[in-house]
């Protein structure tokens, strides 16, 4: 109704003097794909083998009113419609409908029926191991977003801004379902239904007139999942097992923002907010143990303190920033930020005597930890305008973070940085910078040391462990001629974890970018780029089990401690290498200037990864496989891929209003990875049969696309 009103209002405006413009386009596309259609058209709707895609743009504008309408990919799963309009100086609105598709895997299979629903069953006493008989489906997600924004400027300098969006998300994504705690257990990859609705509403009132800007804002988000639980027939029996899916939740945030100009070159900025996230979920009061035995958590000797979980997190954020240019050669920024989450969720306690790792125990107590954290950061940035157009930027930031975690309950960061750049010549802009992160951490606590056989005495998680990181950057942009621009940028980062004995010890990254563009008179233009990224991560780890109970990496590796079979502990390490380079060339040839143009574009991406493993125990190598040694256990296929795309396009301007393009593109994607190569849908033996459904498998493809487009402007 609102859209009709706005369109009619707009049509009335046509009566006044104004300009109308528009464009109508249509593109006929024929696609031939060998291999994974889903990966080729990951975010597009080309799985039909082509089609006719049409776009429309209409705009009307006069001295008082404007109206714009834009539609793209009409009728396809990537369609987008936007209507913008308003009266200048009074109000404006923006309405939209947008679809986003994400194709993941086409032709996945499962022994289950009911795919797309939250109840999955299979015929017979156990899932068929003959994958040829399974049911086919696709993994992927579709988002449909409807929304708008409305802003009132009538009361300038006061304003009101309101926006709302509703998104419906549906599709199927893979979830894994395991039958038991014993390693490895066995599992099945299930198609889980996605039926989500997310509603976001935002409102803001503000005042903007020198020297003050201030606004109050509120944001509310509501998430609903039609299927909070997935029920599936167990692979170990015909009983119904279950697994939880994301719960409904909502979130609101109140905020105040302000920027006050104290003088022409000094401002104080404030951002204060208070937010709350809540969820509620009816807990599963029973489950299948090892896929066969029903366990009722509300039946003695088990117990459950509550059958409902109410989650609640309160979040506060306070930020103060003072910026100043007190003297001509100095830019200063001083800031302080405090961010805190407080977990006020229910703590649920369950007594479950059926935990299979301690089956002989009289009872097993499970209570969820409430994780929250607080982070305070202060810092000063000083920029010095030096003689001869040099500029030196220096900064120091300090962060103190406390978290409710027993292994690393606190970290503090000192970050020092400096950047020097020069703009003495209008055709040359070099820049060099350095940053040093010095992170200290506390822990582990006694509680952490009592867990997992005490491995936390040596194990540090990389996200919070003590760390030193040095980052160097250098770049030069060079514009020797009006029609020539070149650039090169290099970055090197070396992160070390000095207090870590088990875990990530070192991570090094090299990045190089080279780019340029050259206009060859009025005849042609060429743009090219090259990017290289090389990452090397080293981690040192230890294998041990509940018999050896020996996580101490300083103890030697040994096998059969005390003559007990399978009682092993040994050290091992992994060096992960990820090398990616990509390059591309874009050439435009103006065969007949302003009439006929030929565009040629080539892009290539090559990623080569490797997991270089070393096991410091010959016995362990032999137990793995008699032929195994430290040279042949590595995984050289580590998300390796090569992607190339070549496109040529002829653009013919029949007239100023009518343009036709015709062309073709050829694309190839070759992928290889140790986890997905020679894919098997069923593996294992005896009572440990595992089932996969093909998620992310076989993504390689080669494709040809031929297209013809027409566009008429008026």
Partner 1 sequence: MRKVVLVLTVFVVVSLLLLSAAFMQKGAEANPGYVGVNTCKGCHEDKYDSYAKSIHSKKAIPNSPANGEGCESCHGEGSAHVEKGGGRGTGIFNFNPMLSAKEKSAKCLACHEDTKYLAFWNMSKHKAEDVSCDNCHSIHSGGDKFLIAGKSETCYRCHKDIKAMGNKQSHHPIKEGKVSCTDCHDPHGEFSRAMIKADSVNELCYKCHAEKRGPFMWEHPPVEENCLNCHNPHGSNHDRLLVMKTPQLCQQCHDGAYHPGTPYTQFQSFAPPAKGTNPAAQLVGRACLNCHNDVHGTNGPSAYGQRFLK
d(CA 611, CA 573): 10
**Max Cα–Cα distance, the chain, nearest Å:** 97
Q: What is the smallest separation between the CB atom of 114 and partner 1, expressed in angstroms?
A: 19
Which position among 60, 281, 701, 707 is part of the footprint of partner 1 (CB under 8 A)?
Answer: 281
Q: What is the smallest separation between the CB atom of 327 and partner 1, expressed in angstroms?
A: 7
d(CA 514, CA 521): 23
Q: What is the smallest separation between the CB atom of 1 and partner 1, expressed in angstroms?
A: 27
The footprint of partner 1 on residues 563-582 (CB under 8 A) is: 572, 574, 576, 578, 580, 582
Which position among 46, 106, 588, 637 is part of the footprint of partner 1 (CB under 8 A)?
Answer: 637
3-state helix, strand, coil in the chain (%, to 5): 5, 65, 30
d(CA 710, CA 25): 5
264 binds partner 1 (CB under 8 A): yes
Of residues 112 and 281, the one with the C-beta less far from partner 1: 281
- Within 13 Å, how many C-alpha atoms sit on residue 583's CB side? 7
d(CA 536, CA 596): 48
615 binds partner 1 (CB under 8 A): yes
Task: With H, G, I as helix, E, B as strand and everything else as coil, classify residue 622.
Answer: helix
Within 8 A by CB and 6+ apart from 657, the residues are 712, 713, 714
Q: What is the smallest separation between the CB atom of 546 and partner 1, expressed in angstroms?
A: 5
The footprint of partner 1 on residues 5-64 (CB under 8 A) is: 19, 42-44, 61, 63-64
Which position among 128, 163, 166, 273 is part of the footprint of partner 1 (CB under 8 A)?
Answer: 273
What x-and-dash track marks residues 397-436 binding partner 1 by CB under 8 A? -x-x--xxx------x--------x-x--x----------
The footprint of partner 1 on residues 533-562 (CB under 8 A) is: 533, 537, 539, 541-546, 549, 551
**C-alpha distance from residue 580 to each of 531, 532, 642 (Å):** 8, 6, 10
What x-and-dash track marks residues 116-145 binding partner 1 by CB under 8 A? ------------------------------
Q: Where are the alpha helices (DSSP H) in 378-494?
A: 446-449
Q: What is the smallest separation between the CB atom of 238 and partner 1, expressed in angstroms?
A: 19
d(CA 155, CA 137): 55
Task: With H, G, I as helix, E, B as strand and everything else as coil, classify residue 37.
Answer: helix
Judged by CB under 8 A, the stretch of 4-12, 29-37, 130-138, 238-246 that binds partner 1 is 238-246
H or E element that contains 537: strand 524-544
267 binds partner 1 (CB under 8 A): yes
What x-and-dash track marks residues 321-340 binding partner 1 by CB under 8 A? xxxx-xx---xxxxxxx-x-
How many residues touch partner 1 under the rule CB under 8 A: the total is 201
Which position among 158, 472, 683, 714 is part of the footprint of partner 1 (CB under 8 A)?
Answer: 683
Q: What is the smallest separation between the CB atom of 605 and partner 1, expressed in angstroms?
A: 6
Within 8 A by CB and 6+ apart from 87, the residues are 64, 65
Given a contact cutoff of 8 angstroms between Cβ atoms, the answer to whether 223 and 249 are in contact is yes
Judged by CB under 8 A, the stretch of 8-16, 24-32, 362-370, 590-598 that binds partner 1 is 362-370
643 binds partner 1 (CB under 8 A): yes
- Sort residue 140 into left (φ over 0), alpha (ψ -120 to 50) or beta: left
Q: Is 554 exposed, middle or buried (0-12, 13-18, 19+ CB in 10 A)?
A: exposed
Given a contact cutoff of 8 angstroms between Cβ atoms, the answer to whether 495 and 468 are in contact is yes
Of residues 283 and 589, the one with the C-beta less far from partner 1: 283
User: Token pair for residue 710?
Assistant: 């027409």
Of residues 369 and 654, the one with the C-beta less far from partner 1: 369
- Please, which residues bridge with residue 115 across strands? 117
628 binds partner 1 (CB under 8 A): yes
d(CA 501, CA 24): 64
Which position among 126, 128, 227, 271 is part of the footprint of partner 1 (CB under 8 A)?
Answer: 271
What x-and-dash track marks residues 187-226 binding partner 1 by CB under 8 A? x-x------x-x-x---x-x-xxx--x-x-----x-x-x-
The footprint of partner 1 on residues 498-537 (CB under 8 A) is: 502-504, 511, 513, 515, 529, 531, 533, 537
Which position among 25, 28, 147, 247 is part of the footprint of partner 1 (CB under 8 A)?
Answer: 247
Number of other residues whose CB lies within 10 A of the CB of residue 130:
10
CA-based nearest residue to 180, from 222, 237, 135: 237
d(CA 468, CA 507): 11
Judged by CB under 8 A, the stretch of 24-32, 47-55, 113-121, 485-493 that binds partner 1 is 485-493
The DSSP symbol for 8 reads: H
The DSSP symbol for 483 reads: T
The footprint of partner 1 on residues 71-100 (CB under 8 A) is: 78, 87-90, 98, 100
619 binds partner 1 (CB under 8 A): no
The footprint of partner 1 on residues 160-189 (CB under 8 A) is: 161, 174-178, 181, 183-187, 189
């Amino acid at each position: 109704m609102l859209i009709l009103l706005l369109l009619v209002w707009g049509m009335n405006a046509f009566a006044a003097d104004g300009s109308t413009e528009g464009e109508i386009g249509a593109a006929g596309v024929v696609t031939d794909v060998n291999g994974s259609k889903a990966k080729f058209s990951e975010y597009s709707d080309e799985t039909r083998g082509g089609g006719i895609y049409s776009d429309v743009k209409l705009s009307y504008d006069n001295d008082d009113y404007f109206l714009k309408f834009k539609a793209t990919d009409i009728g396809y799963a990537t369609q987008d419609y936007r209507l913008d309009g308003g009266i200048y100086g009074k109000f404006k609105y923006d309405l939209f409908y947008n679809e986003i598709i994400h194709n993941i895997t086409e032709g996945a299979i499962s022994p289950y029926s009911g795919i797309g629903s939250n109840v999955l069953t299979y015929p017979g006493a156990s899932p068929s191991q003959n994958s040829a008989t399974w049911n086919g489906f696709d993994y992927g997600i579709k988002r449909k977003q409807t929304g708008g924004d409305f802003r009132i400027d009538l009361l300038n300098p006061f304003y009101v801004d309101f926006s709302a969006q509703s998104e419906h998300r549906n599709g199927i994504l893979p979830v894994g379902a395991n039958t038991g705690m014993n390693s490895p257990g066995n599992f099945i990859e299930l198609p889980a239904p996605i039926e989500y609705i997310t509603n976001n509403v935002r409102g803001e009132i503000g005042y903007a007139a020198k020297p003050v800007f201030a606004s109050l804002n509120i944001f509310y988000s509501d998430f609903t999942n039609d299927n909070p639980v997935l029920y599936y027939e167990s692979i170990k029996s015909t009983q119904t097992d279950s697994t939880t899916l994301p719960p409904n939740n909502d979130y609101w945030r109140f905020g105040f923002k302000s920027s006050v100009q104290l003088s022409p070159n000094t401002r104080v900025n404030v951002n204060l907010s208070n937010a709350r996230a809540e969820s509620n979920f009816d807990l599963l009061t029973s489950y299948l143990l090892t896929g066969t035995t029903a366990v009722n958590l509300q039946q003695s000797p088990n117990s459950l303190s509550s059958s409902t979980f109410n989650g609640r997190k309160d979040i506060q954020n306070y930020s103060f920033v003072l910026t100043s240019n007190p003297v001509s050669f100095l830019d200063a920024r001083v800031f302080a930020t405090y961010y805190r989450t407080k977990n006020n969720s229910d703590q649920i306690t369950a007594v479950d005597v059926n935990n299979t790792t301690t089956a002989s125990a009289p009872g097993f107590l499970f209570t969820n930890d409430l994780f929250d954290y607080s982070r305070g950061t202060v810092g000063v940035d000083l920029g010095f305008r030096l003689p001869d157009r040099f500029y030196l930027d220096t900064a120091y930031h300090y962060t103190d973070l406390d978290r409710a975690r027993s292994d690393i309950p606190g970290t503090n960061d000192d970050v020092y940085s400096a950047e020097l750049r020069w703009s003495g010549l209008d055709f040359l802009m070099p820049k060099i910078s350095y940053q040093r992160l010095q992170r200290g951490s506390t822990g582990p606590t006694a509680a952490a040391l009592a867990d997992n056989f005490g491995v936390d005495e040596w194990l540090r998680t990389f996200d919070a462990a003590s760390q030193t990181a040095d980052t160097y950057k250098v770049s030069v942009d060079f514009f020797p001629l009006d029609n020539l621009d070149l650039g090169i940028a290099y970055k090197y980062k070396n992160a070390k974890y000095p207090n870590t004995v088990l875990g990530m010890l070192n991570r090094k990254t090299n990045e190089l970018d080279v780019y340029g563009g050259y206009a060859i008179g009025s005849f042609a233009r060429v743009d090219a780029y090259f990017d290289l990224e090389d990452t090397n991560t080293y981690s040192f780890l230890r294998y041990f089990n509940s018999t050896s109970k020996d996580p101490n990496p300083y103890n030697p590796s040994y096998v059969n401690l005390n003559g007990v079979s399978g009682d092993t502990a040994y050290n091992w390490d992994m060096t992960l290498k990820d090398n990616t380079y990509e390059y591309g060339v874009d050439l435009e040839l103006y065969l007949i200037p302003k009439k006929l143009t030929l565009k040629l574009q080539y892009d290539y991406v090559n990623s080569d990864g490797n997991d270089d493993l070393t096991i410091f125990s010959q016995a362990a190598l032999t137990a793995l496989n008699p032929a195994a040694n430290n040279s042949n256990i590595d995984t050289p296929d580590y998300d390796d891929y090569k992607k190339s795309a070549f496109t040529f396009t002829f653009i013919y301007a029949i007239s100023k209003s009518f343009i036709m393009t015709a062309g073709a593109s050829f694309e190839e994607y070759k992928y290889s990875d140790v986890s997905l190569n020679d894919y098997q849908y069923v593996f294992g033996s005896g009572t440990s049969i595992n089932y996969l459904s093909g998620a992310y498998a076989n993504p390689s493809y080669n494709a040809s696309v031929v297209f013809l487009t027409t566009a008429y402007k008026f």
